[in-house]
């Protein structure tokens, strides 16, 4: 590995750490970078997922204050993410990558639509709750079941490919929960951390020889710093500004996914 390649990978890791803390989809920076440098797709996927764990830790820590008051719900969502990630990691080791690659653009478009429509959906559900005599913050058992099932599905996807799983989670929660986008972002960071840790453990246990550890180490160093930077400045954005960042990054990711396909 040449010094220029080392710098490029570390910078890609930093950018991915910033974007993951703010939005999710940092893999859309690191994965194409590794492939462009000549790493096989599966090696790139596994090395990238392993390295980005560090950035997920720093991003989650930076948003820790926004997690307050969410644990009653997260105690159901976290196991769903965990189970989904295990299944997704298994699928990566046993199925061709093109199976999910064909579905990713559709999921991303749906998630972006939910991010944009989130405030309107929340206002509508709030009016319905008040008309029924319930608190607007009330989450019905049916909505909780849909949320947990959706979290599991995103966990499967995240364990398989990781790219844009954060956008999918924010879109899902925005459609179902009476939460601010910053608090949803904090929950997203925690659940993507769970998914990335599970994926990294699975890859190192079953396919350690297919991981490029120098690459994973460079991405880890870059993303660790990037996660702190992203969380520090992302928490200062207004809800609408953060939604705008999510949509712009999501559209760029969608373009890159379609152009590669």
Cβ pair 178, 10 in contact under 8 A: no
Please give the pLDDT value at position 3. 87
Cβ pair 200, 64 in contact under 8 A: no
pLDDT digits (tens, 9 = 90+) for 177-214: 777 778 888 898 999 899 889 888 888 888 788 888 99
Number of neighbours of residue 40 by Cβ within 10 angstroms: 12
DSSP structure class, residue 229: H
pLDDT tens digit at each of 261 positions of the chain: 788 889 989 998 998 898 888 777 777 778 778 877 888 877 887 888 889 999 999 999 988 888 888 888 899 999 999 999 999 888 877 777 666 566 667 766 766 676 666 566 656 655 654 555 554 456 778 888 999 999 999 898 888 776 677 778 887 887 787 777 788 888 989 998 998 898 888 888 887 888 889 999 999 999 999 999 988 887 777 766 766 766 776 677 667 666 655
Please give the pLDDT value at position 136. 47
Closest CA relative to residue 163, chosen from 222, 100, 214, 81: 100
Closest CA relative to residue 253, chosen from 105, 133, 77, 95: 105
Please give the pLDDT value at position 169. 84
- From residue 121, give the alpha-carbon distance in Å to each of 159, 176, 249: 29, 8, 22
Q: Give the end-to-end CA distance of the chain in Å, rounded to a whole number.
A: 28
Count up the domains in the chain and report the number: 1
- From residue 168, give the alpha-carbon distance in Å to each of 34, 134, 140, 174, 232: 24, 28, 21, 10, 22
Closest CA relative to residue 163, chosen from 39, 63, 60, 260: 260
Look up the domain containing 228 and give its range.
Answer: 3-260
Contacts for 178 with CB less than 8 Å, ≥ 6 apart: 122, 125, 126, 136, 137, 139
Residues in the chain: 261
Please give the pLDDT value at position 119. 64
- At residue 146, the 3 state secondary structure works out as helix
């Amino acid at each position: 590995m040449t010094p220029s390649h080392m710098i490029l990978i570390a910078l890609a890791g930093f950018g991915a750490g910033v974007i993951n803390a703010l939005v999710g989809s940092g893999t859309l920076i690191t994965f194409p970078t590794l492939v462009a440098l000549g790493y096989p797709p599966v090696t790139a996927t596994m090395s990238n997922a392993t390295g980005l764990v560090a950035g997920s830790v720093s991003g989650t820590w930076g948003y820790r204050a926004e997690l307050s008051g969410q644990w009653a719900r997260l105690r159901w969502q976290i196991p769903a993410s965990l189970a989904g990630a295990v299944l997704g990691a298994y699928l990566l080791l046993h199925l061709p990558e093109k199976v999910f690659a064909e579905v990713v653009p559709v999921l991303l478009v749906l998630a972006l639509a939910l991010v944009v429509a989130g405030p309107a959906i929340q206002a509508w559900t709030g009016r319905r709750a008040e008309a029924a005599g319930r608190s607007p913050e009330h989450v019905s058992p049916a909505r909780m079941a849909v949320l947990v099932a959706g979290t599991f599905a995103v966990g499967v996807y995240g364990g398989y490919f990781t790219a844009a799983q954060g956008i999918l989670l924010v879109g899902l929660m925005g459609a179902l929960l009476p939460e601010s986008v910053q608090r949803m972002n904090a929950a997203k960071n925690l659940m993507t951390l769970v998914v990335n840790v599970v994926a990294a453990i699975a890859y190192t246990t079953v396919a350690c020889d297919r991981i490029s550890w120098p690459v994973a180490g460079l991405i880890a160093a870059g993303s660790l710093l990037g996660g702190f930077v992203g969380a520090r400045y992302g928490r200062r954005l207004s809800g609408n500004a953060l939604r705008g960042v999510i949509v712009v990054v999501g559209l760029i990711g969608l373009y890159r996914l379609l152009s590669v396909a």
